[in-house]
Structure 1
């Protein structure tokens, strides 16, 4: 959004938004694929996937669960 409104570069929103979406999907899929190898409980995977929607949430997950 700063690129669009502050720097007047609306064309960048599409590219940055696409990268953000792909990384979000990769994070969620990675969390799902690691359930069995990491032996996470249902509560833990709920916290891990919930943190994907919080700013800086993945940093908490990395420190606590990985």
Structure 2
């Protein structure tokens, strides 16, 4: 059962790293605007969701 709990943590951590890097590459720091705003919104939603799942799993493990 322990492996079943680690799969989402590993998967969502990889997703958060990849999407976070893509979101970082999209922003233009001189004007603070995104190259493709619609794609940046999708990246941001996925990034926030994956970080939320990681924090939720971390809190669940610390309460045990």
Q: Which has the higher strand share?
A: 2
Normalised-by-shorter TM-score class: 0.3 to 0.5
Q: Which has the higher helix share?
A: 2
Q: Greater relative contact order (Cα 8 A, min sep 6): structure 1 or 2?
A: 2
TM-score by length of structure 1 reads 0.44
